[in-house]
Amino acid sequence: MQDKTISGFSRLSKEEKLNWIAEQFFEKPQETIKELKSFWHEDAEQQRVFDGFSENTVSNHFLPFGIAPNFVINGDVYAVPMAIEESSVVAAASSAAKFWSKRGGFHAKVLSTRKVGQVHFSWTGNSAALKAAMPDIEQQLREDTRHITTNMEKRGGGIQDIELVDLTAEEPGYYQLRVTFETCDSMGANFINSVLEEFGVSLQQMAATHDLLRREEASLDIIMAILSNYTPECVVRTWVECPVEALDAAGQNMDAATFAEKFAKAIRIAQIDPYRATTHNKGIFNGIDAVVLATANDFRAIEACGHAYAARDGRYRSLSSCTVKDGVFKFWMDLPLAVGTVGGLTRLHPIARLSLEMLGHPNAETLMMIIATTGLAQNFAAVRSLVTTGIQKGHMKMHLLNILNHLKATPAEQEQAAAFFADKVVSFTAVRDYIKQSRNNRLVPEHFLKK
């Protein structure tokens, strides 16, 4: 087998990296190089910025950038930017936004904004001595990190609480400092990690110098110092509500009361059954991730936190809830959501910068509300389809263009196919057969398609 490993790849120029990868792993190297270069930004300076976002870059990976209009949130109207490749997500969010814009809009509020970091360490001495020394330790930790926290404190943020957590029952000698932070309009990862690493240095120094700890003749070893992406105290709530009779247009061939009860039952199923909850919550993150990506926030951290929160009582459940009570339909969601509108890539990435401008230059709390609301809208649209027409009808209609592009249909063929499938079930086989027949200038037999 040919050895395709390489030493020093990161030290190669961008052109050299591209040439090497094309020669080693592609059947047509020159065509591959040409195609990858076609995605380079025409502005060399902008491409240099993109290259700086990551390592070993050879090209750019594009995602469609769409807009979901008509979001009314706390009385303000937004056109929400969404970066996503999945068919029907933007259309579904837009549909839900328009539906609720006529029924009082969405409501949202931030419940808390505290983020969490941890210093994990081992201590071989008496736990009582460590606990007794904590007031002095905390004071020293705050003092030793003043040079890092001063600017954040001027903006109203900084270190909140420092708690000693004894986990020796789970792992011998294992403790942690659990620290909460307020990072204002920044996501704060670099700030939090810098503080925590400084805490680690200071904690070791205090173990050697503090009277209560020194006399233990014990060792304190820092294992790691790192933020946690689980932020159950950085939570936003979003909801819609209306009289049940206002849902009269929600379900095709279904009265408002029947729709409301069926919808609420579907949400309840997602709270009971983790198999359904996983797909249910994935749909919520279809909306959330799209806005998070558009604003250059960390969708991986947000997803990890959201799924952990969904299992916070020991069982994985729906993130959203629904009630039908006293003639009122209410649909809501509490979601931990740590985002930023300053720092990171929010100003460096041109699309992220434009996305934030489109949203009115929101602060972090406003962006939390917009993102969570988009997730709830996406969830409403998906569950509405599931309990009425089924998910595939709308999804495959949106997927039709992808199928046609896969089949290399011309613009004229695409237009004709869109008209033909307007009242028919879309499937890859049906579209393929239609294109084949149309190219042969024959009518499509009805047995290929279902009305």
Supply the CATH number for residue 292's domain. Answer: 3.90.770.10
CB atoms < 10 A from the CB of 137, how many? 23
Q: Choose, from 282, 361, 393, 436, the residue flagged as catalytic.
A: 282
State yes or no: pLDDT of 294 exceeds 90. yes
Please give the average per-residue pLDDT across 189-201, as a whole number: 97
Spell out the long-range contacts of 142-148 with Cβ–Cβ below 8 A and sequence spacing 24 or more. Answer: 144/198, 144/199, 144/201, 144/202, 145/195, 145/198, 145/199, 145/202, 148/191, 148/194, 148/195, 148/198
Q: According to the model, what pLDDT value does residue 285 have?
A: 98
In a domain? residue 22: yes
Q: Given 366, 389, 412, which residue is the final one in a domain? A: 389
In a domain? residue 136: yes
In a domain? residue 251: yes
Q: According to the model, what pLDDT value does residue 200 have?
A: 98
Report pLDDT digits (tens) over 301-334. 999 999 999 999 999 999 999 999 999 999 999 9
Q: Choose, from 115, 120, 395, 397, the residue flagged as catalytic.
A: 395
Please give the average per-residue pLDDT across 63-74, as a whole number: 97
CATH classification at residue 160:
3.30.70.420
Q: According to the model, what pLDDT value does residue 445 have?
A: 52
Helix, strand, coil percent values for the chain (each to nearest 5): 50, 20, 30
Specify whether 361 is catalytic: no
353 to each of 125, 207, 293, 360, how far by Cα in Å? 51, 46, 12, 11
Same domain, 328 and 359: yes
DSSP state of 444: P
Report pLDDT digits (tens) over 204-241. 999 999 999 998 889 999 999 999 999 999 999 999 99
Whole-angstrom Cα distance, residue 28 to residue 67?
37
Contact 21, 35 (CB under 8 A): no
In a domain? residue 3: no
State yes or no: pLDDT of 252 exceeds 80. no
Q: According to the model, what pLDDT value does residue 217 have?
A: 87
Number of domains in the chain: 4
Please give the average per-residue pLDDT across 395-416, as a whole number: 80
Specify whether 15 is catalytic: no
Strands lying side by side in the sheet with 234-243: 107-113, 234-243, 328-336, 320-325
Same domain, 330 and 424: no
Same domain, 239 and 383: yes
In a domain? residue 342: yes
Q: According to the model, what pLDDT value does residue 406 have?
A: 83
Same domain, 311 and 251: yes
Report pLDDT digits (tens) over 133-144. 999 999 999 999
Tokens in use for 350? 């041109």
Which of 34-38, 167-171, 269-273, 391-395 has the least mean pLDDT? Answer: 391-395
Same domain, 242 and 274: yes
CA 216 to mean position of chain CA atoms:
46
Give the three-state DSSP class for 314. coil
In a domain? residue 79: yes
Same domain, 239 and 93: yes
Specify whether 241 is catalytic: no
List of residues 6+ apart from 191 with CB closer than 8 A: 148, 152, 181, 183
Q: Given 370, 389, 408, which residue is the final one in a domain? A: 389
Supply the range of the domain harboring residue 75: 65-112+232-389
Say which residue, 391 or 445, is predicted with more confidence.
Answer: 391
Same domain, 280 and 358: yes
State yes or no: pLDDT of 270 exceeds 90. yes
Same domain, 264 and 198: no
Whole-angstrom Cα distance, residue 7 to residue 78?
50
Specify whether 233 is catalytic: no
State yes or no: pLDDT of 16 exceeds 90. yes
Q: According to the model, what pLDDT value does residue 430 have?
A: 86
In a domain? residue 378: yes
DSSP state of 250: T
State yes or no: pLDDT of 421 exceeds 50. yes
- From 372, 312, 412, 287, select the one nearest 74 (Cα to Cα): 372
Q: How confident is the model at residue 182 (pLDDT cuts 50, 70, 90)?
A: very high
Q: According to the model, what pLDDT value does residue 451 have?
A: 46
Same domain, 263 and 331: yes
Same domain, 146 and 70: no
Same domain, 152 and 76: no
State yes or no: pLDDT of 446 exceeds 60. no
Q: According to the model, what pLDDT value does residue 390 have?
A: 75
Percent of the chain topping pLDDT 90 = 81
Q: What is the dihedral of CA 206, 211, 215, 217, to 10 degrees?
A: 10
CA 218 to mean position of chain CA atoms:
44
In the numeric block, the tokens 């009115």 are attached to 360
Q: According to the model, what pLDDT value does residue 395 have?
A: 59
In a domain? residue 2: no
CB atoms < 10 A from the CB of 151, how many? 11
Q: According to the model, what pLDDT value does residue 448 have?
A: 52
Q: Choose, from 198, 298, 365, 399, the residue flagged as catalytic.
A: 298
Q: Choose, from 51, 86, 233, 334, the residue flagged as catalytic.
A: 86
Q: According to the model, what pLDDT value does residue 101 have?
A: 98
Same domain, 291 and 334: yes
Q: According to the model, what pLDDT value does residue 193 have?
A: 98
